């Protein structure tokens, strides 16, 4: 079990790596998270958990000077989601759903 990862990921998913960078006011978070058992909504659970964690972290550390965040999961095939700063805040507060981000 990996400490620091959301409960939904613990035990159900293998976190192989994670990396964060910022360039031109865009945060980029690359990670390799794979399910222990294939399920229909694995991608939604993974991205939702990581997006909430990042949103909470940026909020708590009062990061304000950024335009958006790109999330990239490289397992099993690379998937990307980009959120504007506004959409990140709205998702973190439960005002929009994961399906609205796609």
Q: The CATH number of the domain where 19 resides is what? A: 3.30.70
Q: Return the pLDDT at 1.
A: 37
Domain with 34, as residue range(s), is 13-101
Write the burial class of residue 1 (CB in 10 Å: 0-12 exposed, 13-18 middle, 19+ buried): exposed
| pTM, full prediction | 0.84
Per-residue pLDDT of the chain (102 residues; tens, 9 = 90+): 344 445 556 678 888 999 999 999 999 999 999 888 877 788 898 999 999 999 999 989 998 899 999 999 998 789 999 999 999 999 988 899 888 887
Q: Return the pLDDT at 67.
A: 96
Q: CA 33 to CA 42: how far, in whole Å?
A: 10
Domain count of the fold of the chain = 1
Instruction: Report yes or no on 1 lying in a domain.
Output: no
Instruction: Report yes or no on 93 lying in a domain.
Output: yes
Instruction: Report yes or no on 2 lying in a domain.
Output: no
Instruction: Report yes or no on 26 lying in a domain.
Output: yes
């Amino acid at each position: 079990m990996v400490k620091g990862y959301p409960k939904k990921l613990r035990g159900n998913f293998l976190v192989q790596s994670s990396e964060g960078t910022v360039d031109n006011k865009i945060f980029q978070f690359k990670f390799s998270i794979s399910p222990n058992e294939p399920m229909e909504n694995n991608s939604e659970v993974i991205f939702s958990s990581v997006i909430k964690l990042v949103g909470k972290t940026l909020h708590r550390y009062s990061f304000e000077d950024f335009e958006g965040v790109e999330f990239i999961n490289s397992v099993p095939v690379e998937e990307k989601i980009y959120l504007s700063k506004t959409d990140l805040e709205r998702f973190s507060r439960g005002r929009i759903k994961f399906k609205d981000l796609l």
